[in-house]
């Protein structure tokens, strides 16, 4: 498991995410966007960047990155980020509104710096949650909640906007 303790984990996962989405034909509905997130255990806001693609009429795959800002008091600094790969079953409703349960994988890294000392820890976990979106044509506002089950358990809520690239 030394790979998951590596500082290169997120670089490799990010490259995988980019390559994964580049393989989709834009005839499938794809979207890119982001928003803000809140982590219950970190107790701080963060930014969220995400992308996804529909596979068929009701299944969506997505990847997102949450970067949280727990703080820097000038002496002690902590950075927390989580990379998520999820699958969701879309339950369509009327007027473009839809809800979805989701499940997936999470990789969370916590980097701590205290003076000249630096420590980075990475853990894998599972995501369970759901969300709500409103497809307005070119854009889709969303709200999503999930619980990350790992050594870094926490609930994460994200709110944002997706730009629909193709259909």
Residue 30 inside a domain? The answer is no
Residue 28 inside a domain? The answer is no
Residue 89 inside a domain? The answer is yes
Residue 161 has what pLDDT? Answer: 98
pLDDT, one tens digit per residue, over 49-83 is 999 999 988 999 999 999 998 776 667 788 899 99
Domain holding 121: CATH number?
A: 2.40.160.20
Q: Tell me how far apart the 2 most distant CA atoms of the chain are, in Å.
A: 56
Closest residue by Cα to residue 146 from 134, 159, 161: 159
What span, in angstroms and rounded, lies between the C-alpha atoms of 156 and 143?
11
Share of the chain above pLDDT 90, in %: 61
Q: Supply the pTM of this predicted model.
A: 0.79
Residue 29 inside a domain? The answer is no
Residue 166 has what pLDDT? Answer: 76
Spell out the per-residue pLDDT of the chain, length 167, in tens.
Answer: 334 444 455 555 555 555 555 554 444 689 999 999 999 988 889 999 999 999 988 999 999 999 998 776 667 788 899 999 999 999 978 888 999 999 999 999 999 888 788 899 999 999 999 999 999 989 999 999 999 999 989 999 999 999 999 76
Contact predicate 33/48, CB 8 Å: no
Residue 23 has what pLDDT? Answer: 52
Radius of gyration for the alpha carbons in the chain, expressed in angstroms and rounded? 17
Beta strand segments in 10-166, E: 30-39, 44-55, 59-72, 76-89, 91-92, 97-114, 117-134, 139-149, 154-166
What span, in angstroms and rounded, lies between the C-alpha atoms of 151 and 163?
33
Residue 31 inside a domain? The answer is no
The kind and range of the H/E element at 18 are: helix 9-22
What span, in angstroms and rounded, lies between the C-alpha atoms of 78 and 121?
11
| Distance spanning both ends of the chain, measured CA to CA | 40
The number of folded domains in the chain is 1
What are 134's two structure tokens? 């409103």
Residue 87 inside a domain? The answer is yes
Q: Structural domain of residue 109, as residue ranges?
A: 2-22+36-166
């Amino acid at each position: 498991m030394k790979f998951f303790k590596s500082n290169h984990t997120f670089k490799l996962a990010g490259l995988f995410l980019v390559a994964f989405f580049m393989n989709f034909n834009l005839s499938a509905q794809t979207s890119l966007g982001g928003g803000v997130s809140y982590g219950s255990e970190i107790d701080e806001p963060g930014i969220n960047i995400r992308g996804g693609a529909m596979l068929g009429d009701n299944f969506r795959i997505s990847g997102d990155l949450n970067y949280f800002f727990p703080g820097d008091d000038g002496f002690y600094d902590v950075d927390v980020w989580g990379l998520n790969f999820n699958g969701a079953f879309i339950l369509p409703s009327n007027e473009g509104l839809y809800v979805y349960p989701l499940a997936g994988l999470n990789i969370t890294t916590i980097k701590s710096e205290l003076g000249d000392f630096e420590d980075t820890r990475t853990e894998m976990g599972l995501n369970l949650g759901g969300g709500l979106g409103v497809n307005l044509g070119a854009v889709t506002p969303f709200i999503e909640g999930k619980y990350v089950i790992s050594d870094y358990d926490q609930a994460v809520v994200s709110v944002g906007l997706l730009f629909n690239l193709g259909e």
